[in-house]
Each structure stands twice: as C-alpha cells, then as structure tokens.
Amino acid sequence: MTRITTFYPRRGRVSGRHEDALTRLWPRYGVDIAQPWTPLDQQSLFGRRAPLVLEIGSGMGDATAAMAAADPARDYLAVEVFPPGLGNLLAVVEEQDLPNVRVAQGDALHLVRHMLAEGSLDAVHVYFPDPWPKARHHKRRLIQPDTVALLRSRLAVGGVLHCATDWADYAEQMAEVLDADEHLVNLYDGYAPRPGHRPLTKFEQRGIAAGRQIFDLLYRRG
C-alpha cells in the first residue's frame, strides 16, 4: 500500500555542527530507511535487546534525548525525515554519552511497515505530528485508521501508543480513530493527564505560546 506523505517537504539547512555530527556519527547510530528493506536487528544496532521505544517525528530531538536519558532500561529509536533535527539529536547523544538512542532517517511508515517485526515495540511515541490544519490536507495526518492498525501491529501486547497534539480538532480525530481500533484500550477515561515522563517538546512550546491546549492520548495494545 502506498500512502501520501505525512510530512512537509523541508525546510532548513544543515548547520556545521549538525552536519559534522551526521557525518561522524551516522555509521555508529544511524539507520537508513531504504530499499532493499532489511529487518531491523536490534541486537546489533543497540548491542542488547531491551524494550524498544519508537518515536515518530522526533524533530530537533531534545525531548527524545531527555526521555532516553531518564529511561536507561529501554532503547529509543527516533525517526525523522528532517536531517538537521537528526544531526542535533546525534550531537546531543554524543555530548551526553547516551547509550540507548539510535536514529533513522526517512518515512517512519516505511520503517514500521518493512523493517519492524510484529510485536517488536514496547511503545510508539507520536508527539505533535504535523497538524495539516486545512480540511483538504487532513488525509495527510499521520493518525488515521490504517496507520494506527499498522503501528498497533508492531506493538507487543501491553505496549503503549502515546500521541500528543496541540490541535483540538486533531486530538478529536486521534481519539475517534484510537477508540475505534478494537485492539487498543484507552489507559484513561478520555484524554490523559499530562504524563510526567514526556518532556516539553519544541512544538509543544510553540503551541502553548500560541495559547493552544495540549492533549495527550495513551492507549495500550490489548
């Protein structure tokens, strides 16, 4: 199945620091999302097989690094199409000597569909996905019934899909789609209280500055 892309054609040049980090650290920490598809080998990528968290659309990656630093027993794979963000995350991973972060560049949906085994994830984080506010663009939103079914299939039973957004109508769409998936169970009655383990992200800060409310949704694979 091919799907229209969920991201904007980008935007932003790679600075010297980020380019340097990408060049030097990619062979050690990077995963290419490219054909021919190769199943992800967690043992050789991380040097262990800990519970694996996938973050889709990690942006500049500062929140990813903070979460991974606070949660050393799990491994974090951050996926982003935007090279400067990946370069920034790699630079932070090196500075903070974080052993449990790896990064993948490209469309996360290709990675999930073609490179991740069913039941292989402990959690999927989708924090402030591109909102595509115009109605004619809603089909580009990441959280749709088909992508949720795909993401859920890669979660282990008991694994958690955690979405957050600052767009009220997208939050409603997320709740509708997640509630409709009969294999997902809402961990809360409606929206979740802001989880203490989710750091403030860059786009969340923008949303708050613009006066928007933040919505968290946490669902477990039943």
Ligand X SMILES: C[S@@+](CC[C@H](N)C(=O)[O-])C[C@H]1O[C@@H](n2cnc3c(N)ncnc32)[C@H](O)[C@@H]1O
On the CB side of 2, CA atoms within 13 Å amount to 1
- Candidates 23-31, 77-85, 115-123, 185-193; binding stretch for ligand X (CB under 6 A): 77-85
Q: Which residues are catalytic?
A: 130
25, 81, 121, 178: residue in contact with ligand X (rule CB under 6 A):
81
Is residue 59 close enough to count as binding ligand X by CB under 6 A? yes
The CA R_g of the chain, rounded to the nearest whole Å, is: 16
Is residue 82 close enough to count as binding ligand X by CB under 6 A? yes
Smallest distance from ligand X to CB 145, Å: 16
Is residue 142 close enough to count as binding ligand X by CB under 6 A? yes
Which residue, judged by CB position, is nearest to ligand X in the bound state? 57
25, 53, 56, 143: residue in contact with ligand X (rule CB under 6 A):
56
Alpha-carbon span 210 to 168, nearest angstrom: 13
Of 127 and 219, CB closest to ligand X: 127
C-alpha 207, offset from chain centre? 18
- With b for 16 or more beta-carbon neighbours within 10 A and e for fewer, the 49-72 pattern comes to ebebbbbbbbbbbbbbbbbbbebe
Is residue 87 close enough to count as binding ligand X by CB under 6 A? no
Is residue 116 close enough to count as binding ligand X by CB under 6 A? no
101, 201, 220, 221: residue in contact with ligand X (rule CB under 6 A):
201
Q: Report whether the peptide linkage leading into residue 83 is cis, meaning its omega lies within 30 degrees of zero.
A: no
Q: Using CB under 6 A as the criterion, which residues of the chain lie in contact with ligand X when the complex forms?
A: 6-7, 56-59, 79-82, 85, 107-109, 127-130, 142, 201-204
